[in-house]
Amino acid sequence: MSSHPPGVPPGIYAAGLHQRDHLRPTPPDILPKRFRACQLSCNWQRLPPLPVILDPFLAGVVKEYVRKTCRPDVMDLVREGRASMKPVLAQAIKAACPTRPRKETSRIQVKMRTNNVLSYLALCHQLADPAKAHHHNRYAHIFQGHIGSLYREAKEAGTEAEVDALVAAMYGVEVWPVLQGERETKQLGRDKIWLVTKPSRQGRKAGKKAAKGRKGTHAAVQAVKQERVPTKRAKRRATVKQEDRKPSGAGVARWEANVKSIGTTEVVGLGEQ
């Protein structure tokens, strides 16, 4: 019996479907109208090819899900894929980032499980039609449903480790440069999001020492802040607050009446005219 490569189920290898060109990941030529690029750079050339789904029922995940609404059977596959990928992804990121603290690896795991990343993988593996203007949630469900179908088939054949190796290869260091420690910036609107920007403890100490050696002290900084010219908005807010404190004409009259009535038994209420 010939040995098949890891990440390819026996049925796929026996049929020779893993050698087809259309199974190789390629960047999409057309992006959907509502598609947002994933916030992490991906080396799509290092992505392993995904095996096709032989079962006609499972093959309907790609076509029927995009064209119709969510089906219960498809969502079961999506849940299976999501639950099966999570521990494999966590282990792959920990192996790729052994020196990083737990908070950083947890933050990277959350980024890798976003719909932007999953939908981008679905388009690279040609699981979805890029001409469709669907949102990221559907493309991500297609990818997770495909992985869930592979796990379901692997459980019957007892080859779950091969699918685990396939998922781990998709989230390897060669595919995602951010796992190598590179700092990446991605802009969404006006704000720039840094994936990994938290400095180490030694870096924070060095920054504090450098801050102490600067010419400007805390007192000088506060003096500069006080000398700043207030903006028009700040002036407008100040005038509005002062006007709110001033009583109106009727309020002044009631206040004078109350002052005059001090020392007598009758006190004019503020609500009386």
Pick from 151, 183, 198: which residue ends a domain? 198
Q: Lowest-confidence range among 98-107, 164-173, 208-217, 246-255?
A: 208-217
On whether both 162 and 104 belong to a single domain, the answer is yes
In a domain, 223, yes or no: no
Q: Could you give the CA distance from residue 113 to residue 20 in angstroms, rounded to a whole number?
A: 28
Of 153 and 87, the structure prediction assigns the larger pLDDT to: 87
In a domain, 84, yes or no: yes
On whether both 130 and 187 belong to a single domain, the answer is yes
Which CATH number goes with the domain that contains 144?
Answer: 1.10.1520
Over residues 50-78, the pLDDT tens digits come to 887 655 555 555 555 555 555 667 788 88
226: confidence class by pLDDT, cuts 50, 70, 90: low
On whether both 185 and 64 belong to a single domain, the answer is yes
Q: Lowest-confidence range among 21-30, 138-147, 214-223?
A: 214-223
pLDDT computed for residue 88 by the predictor: 92
193: three-class secondary structure by DSSP: strand
pTM over 0.75: no
pLDDT higher than 50, residue 239: yes
pLDDT computed for residue 12 by the predictor: 46
Overall number of domains in the chain: 2
On whether both 245 and 165 belong to a single domain, the answer is no
Q: Which residue stretches of 113-228 are H helix?
A: 115-124, 136-157, 160-170, 201-212, 218-226
What average pLDDT score do residues 18-42 get?
68
Q: Lowest-confidence range among 62-66, 69-73, 129-133, 164-168?
A: 62-66
On whether both 120 and 181 belong to a single domain, the answer is yes
Q: Lowest-confidence range among 26-35, 83-92, 199-208?
A: 199-208
In a domain, 222, yes or no: no
83: confidence class by pLDDT, cuts 50, 70, 90: very high
On whether both 66 and 117 belong to a single domain, the answer is yes
pLDDT higher than 50, residue 267: no
On whether both 116 and 29 belong to a single domain, the answer is yes
pLDDT computed for residue 87 by the predictor: 92
On whether both 181 and 237 belong to a single domain, the answer is no
Q: Could you give the CA distance from residue 60 to residue 74 in angstroms, rounded to a whole number?
A: 9
On whether both 151 and 261 belong to a single domain, the answer is no
pLDDT computed for residue 100 by the predictor: 82
In a domain, 206, yes or no: no
Q: Looking at the DSSP assignment, which residues form a beta bridge with residue 186?
A: 193
What is the residue-averaged pLDDT of the chain?
A: 69
Q: Lowest-confidence range among 2-6, 183-187, 235-239?
A: 183-187
On whether both 236 and 153 belong to a single domain, the answer is no
- Non-local (6+) Cβ contacts of 4 within 8 A are 10, 13, 14
Pick from 198, 213, 240: which residue ends a domain? 198
pLDDT computed for residue 84 by the predictor: 92
Q: Could you give the CA distance from residue 141 to residue 23 in angstroms, rounded to a whole number?
A: 19
On whether both 194 and 255 belong to a single domain, the answer is no
On whether both 191 and 268 belong to a single domain, the answer is no
Domain that holds residue 236: 231-273
pLDDT computed for residue 85 by the predictor: 92
15: confidence class by pLDDT, cuts 50, 70, 90: very low
In a domain, 3, yes or no: no
What average pLDDT score do residues 43-55 get?
78
In a domain, 218, yes or no: no
Which helix (H) or strand (E) segment holds residue 191: the answer is strand 191-194
Of 91 and 9, the structure prediction assigns the larger pLDDT to: 91
